[in-house]
Amino acid sequence: MRPNKLRQLLNEGKPSLGTHVICPWPGMIEIVGHSGVFDYIEYVGEYSSFSLEQMDNIGRALDLFPNMSSMMKVEEQTRGFIAQRAIDSGIQNVLFTDIRSADDARECVRFVRSETPEAGGVHGAGMRRSVGYVLEGGSKAWTEAMDNVVIALMIEKKGAMEELDEILAVPGIDMLQFGPTDYSISVGKPGQGGDPEVQADHQKMIEKALAAGVHPRIELGSFEQAERYTEMGVRHFCVGWDLGTIFGWCKSQGSIIEELGLRK
């Protein structure tokens, strides 16, 4: 089983920096890995079209970079199936979306952990690529790797904020991230992620997570936006999206073309 860089950073009390990839092309993983900048890649599966074979290929690309870990953002429906197949492909950590209650949080932990008496999970052993198919399936090393999967939750529903203290008390929850867009919908303010009420709840989540010893994680368009959160004590960020970078480049080139008078 390969080392889990993100888990190592959390255990050592060090900050972490990730970036988002929506395109499931393994070459995108390699480009990010060759940069040597990021501790992990978050494959945003919730917004991407993918197959199980593509997840295996993402895992193969990640294996080229022992000092870089990975995470998959998993949608609510069939989240247990997708989370387990992602982990078994070699995507080492999971971000679960649409959490509404402490029961949801407990279920997510059970999906990830192995079915040892101590872990109490439901993730069974399998002949899949993360264990070399026939090499380490069901081994002690595998159960330990399942114990080390970093479990992150999206706090993006009204119910999750109402049960935030109970969610923070669930054993096995490592990170929380606020989702202002979905949260604004759930409190009757669609499209108002920047609303003062929504942002106040975001700050409340950060403060409560820090007090409970759970790591808040922040998504940023660029790291220039981080200062506000570092002053609050946040040390974990996921910055930028591959699609957003391409879109921004296209728009900037369009502006230059117009300035040159090449397009009216």
Q: Which has the closest alpha carbon to 237: 44, 33, 15? A: 15
Task: Judge whether 152 and 95 are in contact, CB under 8 Å.
Answer: yes
Q: What is the percentage of the chain residues whose pLDDT exceeds 90?
A: 93
Q: Could you give the C-alpha distances from 131 to 17, 84, 117, 136, 219, in angstroms and in order? A: 26, 13, 21, 5, 31
**pLDDT band (50, 70, 90) for residue 264:** low
pLDDT at 262 over 80: no
Mean pLDDT of 220-233: 92
Q: What is the reported pTM?
A: 0.95
Mean pLDDT along residues 191-207: 96
Alpha-carbon span 49 to 54, nearest angstrom = 10
pLDDT tens per residue across span 13-42: 999 999 999 999 999 999 999 999 999 999
Mean pLDDT of 52-59: 97
- pLDDT digits over 132-164, tens only? 999 999 999 999 999 999 999 999 999 999 999
Other residues' Cβ atoms within 10 Å of the Cβ of residue 135: 11
